[in-house]
Amino acid sequence: MIIDFHKIEEATFPGMNGGTGLMTVRMYNDEKYRIIPTTIHPGGSIGMHRQTSGDDMNYILSGVGKAICDGIEEELKPGNMHICPKGSEHSIVNTGNEDLVMFTVVVVR
């Protein structure tokens, strides 16, 4: 299977899950996968929410930020992957002055 993200329309969300600022994505969703190149713009965050569909895996491509999963705060930087297991509560915050760019994969289970 090939997914051509250039053919998926870009969408921008303000305050995703009660967060702050803006997030831009190209979202691929089907019954098995959610695959999302994600950009959280400076000052932006994904609000705290429960991960219900599967483990949320976020590979950091550029920028810096922090992830909070079940009360544990971890630094995000290029080359890191943050994994938030299904059933956990988490948030991701751009703490830098540049875009926080990540590649997100959720295997639905």
Could you report the per-residue pLDDT of 39-49, keeping only the tens digit for each? 999 999 999 99
**What is residue 81's three-state secondary structure?**
strand
Assigned CATH topology for domain 10-107: Jelly Rolls (2.60.120)
Q: Is 105 exposed, middle or buried (0-12, 13-18, 19+ CB in 10 A)?
A: middle
List the chain residues with pLDDT less than 70: none
> What's the confidence (pLDDT) of residue 86?
93
Q: What is the pTM of this model?
A: 0.92
> What's the confidence (pLDDT) of residue 15?
87
Domain boundaries, the chain: 10-107
> What's the confidence (pLDDT) of residue 45?
97
Could you report the per-residue pLDDT of 42-70, keeping only the tens digit for each? 999 999 999 998 999 999 999 999 999 99
